Amino acid sequence: MMTTLVSGVVVLLLLALALWTVVARDAFLAVAGFIVYGLLLSLVWVRLYGIDVALTEAAIGGGLSGALLLGAVGKLRRTEALSWAERCGLGTRALAAALSVAVTLALVLGVLFLPDPAPTLAPQVMRHLPATGVGNPITGVLLAFRAVDTLLEAIVLVIALIGVWSLAPDRAWGGRPGPRYDADPDGMLAYLARLLPPIGIVIGIYLFWAGADHPGGKFQAATILAAMWLLVQMAGLGDAPRTDNRALRAGIALGPLVFVAVGVLGLPSAGVFLGYPEGWAKPMIVVIEIALLPTLTLVLALLMSGAPARSADSSVPRAKP
Amino acid sequence: MSVEMLFALCACLLIGIGLYGLIVLPHPLRKLVAFNIMGSGVFVLFGALAKRGAAAGMLADPVPQALLITAIVVAFAATAVAVALLLRLIEATGSASLADAPASKD
């Protein structure tokens, strides 16, 4: 009873915040609402027994996406007022409302007439999980049963980063993203940037290692590690890397390449792409996870930093040819 | 009403709210936030279906849950690309307008 009440309150708050992000006049307030929304959403995942999803949602959905949008709001301030002048007319708004209501009603009908009993793959997962050697069924699905999804996801992340980098203006090609942050070296931010990363790195690696048998895993770990790296950059203790740095690019390509290599290895040894030979599933999974961690950390942090904005040799001012 | 049913219905409303915002809001960044609301609605709906699939001693079906983790990460990557495109648009044109050039507007 109590938990239903809590769920009801969470639902009402979620709907109110979602409406707020749509009706708020100010983009900053809308994004602030979206960040709270993301955090509340992780409560929903806990209630739906998806602890791994809750961790990912809090770290990426609320944390990284929120910070990314908040950073964008700061740069877009001056375009906001102009944009309201382009607001669509009453007719379009009425049509949009009608369409939204129709979509919602269609979905509600679908939800009310779901098949019973619900289709599920849980028994199959439980039956075959011991063969993978991992104890967390989510990790088993991500890296054994549906490994091809995770492989494609890693590739999508790298492609997204290539997409962001290719938006660099010519003069900044291969350069460093974002501004060079200059924080007070004795200030609070610099203090936190010295204090938190050691703790964050330990927590990140713990989440990574524990992910085999408990909630957690490489995505959540990579998010924490990326956040620590960004914190160091924002406190001015380190600079963003040059995007033409070969070691950096190798680190980014490492995860997908190792993943594909393990997949190809499965052809002769297990007879199928991404198949693991008998008894070798756990070591193979660990190899893939270890290779994916630097890729995910680098890509998540660099996606946050955005397109290169400073010329490749920003430390030494160079005369234009 | 069961928890998963409650959240599934909530998800339907979130999708509707996000869709409305995506169409109506003029600023691309606001459209992006609305699109993320819509996307999270889809995720919650899928998560509620995963909860319905609880079986074999598991509290929820792990297959949709694993796909959700993938989906959340990919949604973030897509958002990052959209933000970068938007910042470049403003850098190049000085405005965030998505409208056609006046000549081609009816």
pLDDT tens per residue, range B15-37: 999 999 999 988 889 999 999 99
The model's pLDDT over A195-213, given as tens digits with 9 standing for 90+, comes to 899 999 999 999 888 877 7
What is the pLDDT confidence band of residue A316, given thresholds at 50, 70 and 90? very low
- Assess if residue A225 is contained within a domain: yes
* Between B93 and B106, the higher pLDDT residue: B93
Contact check, Cβ <8 Å, B8/A219: no
Based on the structure, what is the number of domains in chain B? 1
Most confident stretch, A29-38, A45-54, A182-191, A215-224: A29-38
Which chain B residues touch A100 with a CB distance below 8 Å? Answer: 16-17, 19-20, 23
Most confident stretch, A121-135, A185-199, B68-82: B68-82
Out of A41, A49, A88, the one facing B60 most closely (by C-beta) is: A49
Question: Distance (Å, rounded) from C-alpha A270 to C-alpha A221?
Answer: 30
- Assess if residue A88 is contained within a domain: no
Q: Which domain covers residue A230, as residue numbers?
A: 124-313
What is the pLDDT confidence band of residue B105, given thresholds at 50, 70 and 90? very low
Question: Distance (Å, rounded) from C-alpha A305 to C-alpha A34?
Answer: 20
- Do A294 and A145 reside in the same domain of the chain? yes
Size of interface A-B (CB pairs under 8 A): 283
DSSP string for A231-275:
HHHHTTSS-PPPTT-HHHHHHHHHHHHHHHHHHHHHHHHHSSTT-
Give A186 to chain B, closest Cα distance, Å: 32
Residues A229, A240 contacting (CB under 8 angstroms): no
Distance in Å from the first CA to the final CA of chain B:
50
A136-146: average pLDDT? 81
For residue A308, give the 3-state DSSP assignment. strand
- Assess if residue B80 is contained within a domain: yes
- Do A192 and A53 reside in the same domain of the chain? no
Question: Distance (Å, rounded) from C-alpha A294 to C-alpha A257?
Answer: 12
- Sole residue written with tokens 């973030």: B76
Q: Name the β-bridge partners of A177.
A: A308
Question: Distance (Å, rounded) from C-alpha A257 to C-alpha A287?
Answer: 12
What is the pLDDT confidence band of residue A60, given thresholds at 50, 70 and 90? confident
- Give the mean pLDDT of chain A: 84
Q: What is the pLDDT of residue A1?
A: 64
Here the CATH number for the domain that contains residue B52 is: 1.10.287.3510
Give the closest residue to A219 by CA, choosing from B43, B46, B70, B63.
B70
- Please tell me the total number of residues recorded for chain B in this structure: 106
Q: Which residue type, as a one-letter code, is found at position A34?
A: F
Domain final residue pick, A61, A77, A93: A77
Contacts of B97 (CB under 8 A, 6+ apart): A82, A83, A86
